[in-house]
Copies of this chain bind each other. A is one copy, B any other.
Amino acid sequence: MDSVEAYLADIIAAIRPLPTRELPLAGAVGAVLADDVTALHPLPSFDNSSMDGYAVRASDVTTASRENPVVLVVSGEVAAGDTRRHDLVPGSALKIMTGALLPAGADAVVPVEQTDGGTERVAITQPVPAGAAVRTAGGDAQPGDLLLSAGTRLGPVHVGLLSAAGHGAVTARPRPRVTVIATGNELVEPGGQLEPGQIYESNALMLAAAARQAGCPAVQHPIVRDDTGAVLTAITDALTSADLLVTSGGVSMGGEHDAVKAALSTLGTVTFRRVAMQPGMPQGFGTVGPAATPIFTLPGNPVSAYVSFCLFVRPALDAMQGIFRERSKRGPATLAEPVRSPAGRRSYLRGILDADAGLVTPVAGQASHQLANLARANALIIVPEEVTSLEAGASVDVMELP
């Protein structure tokens, strides 16, 4: 059996980051910059007022006080978005709005609250230093300044900054598109009628949602029956629109009806391996198709499938964007109840973590089909391979579920 680390390392080694693309900003959230982005122009691009008030020369209002206001002629008004050139005649003032271009000759803005708000003449009741209430051109960034580093996953503020800095589009690695294919003769679409021996499909729905939660566009393929040809057709179809494929089911260790295993014996580089973990021992990974598209063949047990997704598919999705660091939050916690674990396999037990108390309680049922118990959990309790039991009060490593 392979260790979890060895298996993950092999996956990551096989992943080629997606090529970079020119993305419009509105579609760039979640994409990852391949290169540093620098400022092309000063930001802001012109001196402007940070308040509503009066543009002045600071030297004209040095004696202003509430008792002896300085009274200046108001020679005009500059609104935000006014692109005309305004010149301040020394000894006068121009009314100015927040964000408006500072007139030539002005070096400060007196906030309206420190005046009588006059329109023909204004009485100014406090002096202001030069530069007061002025946002200087380049005060946020100068041309050539680093705005965002290579490897940044673009969030709301980043696209805002790119837009403000005049980048209408950005070169980045987009989020991988995921297709999830559930296989199995026993599967029935949610809400339909069940006969004994049949179950409702839930894995493709869950895994596609998990891919979306990881930031990726994801689609579910319709249920595929346990037929090698049908599985091959589904995979080939999906290759036209997916950057990464996930199958669920059809890969148990001894079954002759393992259609996914059979299909992938004729296509791609997938190897099926036993990984020293529970749940999720039977794993398969490789690439298929002309673009060497990564494919994961996850176990059909829903808990196994979900844990495998968190441990292997999420890091692979990150790696396709050139990000190779851990995204899950891990840390120590104290076990509230004893746990057992098989020798030689690392357990990822489902638990309820109280992060404030640093306490984690295993859920009642730990079998790998017990989805209701997984749904109560918010963390995985990691029990090392060589440990077969832990008492309440033991310190354990815990990984928060996304």
A→B interface (CB under 8 Å):
25-26, 29, 39, 43-46, 48, 50-53, 79-85, 97-101, 111-113, 117, 135, 139-141, 145, 147-148, 155-169, 184-187, 190-192, 194-203, 205-210, 212-213, 220, 226, 252-255, 257, 300-302, 306, 365, 367-375, 401-402
Contact = CB atoms under 8 A, between A and B. Distances in A.
A133 to B, nearest CB: 11
A105 to B, nearest CB: 15
Given A50-B368, A157-B206, A166-B190, 5 more contacts: A26-B220, A46-B196, A99-B184, A140-B369, A141-B372
A25 B190 contact: yes
A35 B110 CA distance: 56
A264 to B, nearest CB: 18
21 contacts: A25-B190, A43-B372, A52-B254, A79-B257, A81-B184, A81-B185, A81-B197, A83-B198, A98-B252, A99-B300, A100-B186, A100-B197, A111-B254, A139-B365, A139-B367, A139-B369, A140-B370, A148-B375, A156-B210, A163-B190, A166-B194
B187 A83 contact: no
B140 A254 contact: no
B101 A197 contact: yes
B83 A196 contact: yes
Contact of A197 (B82, B257, B300): B82
Question: What is the total number of copies of this protein in its complex?
Answer: 2
A213 B29 CA distance: 9
B206 A159 contact: yes
A19 to B, nearest CB: 22
B198 A81 contact: yes
A271 to B, nearest CB: 19
B99 A186 contact: yes
Contact of A255 (B98, B205, B254): B98
A120 to B, nearest CB: 15
Contacts of A373: 140
Contacts of A168: 190-192
Contacts of A160: 202-203, 205-206, 209, 302, 306, 371, 375
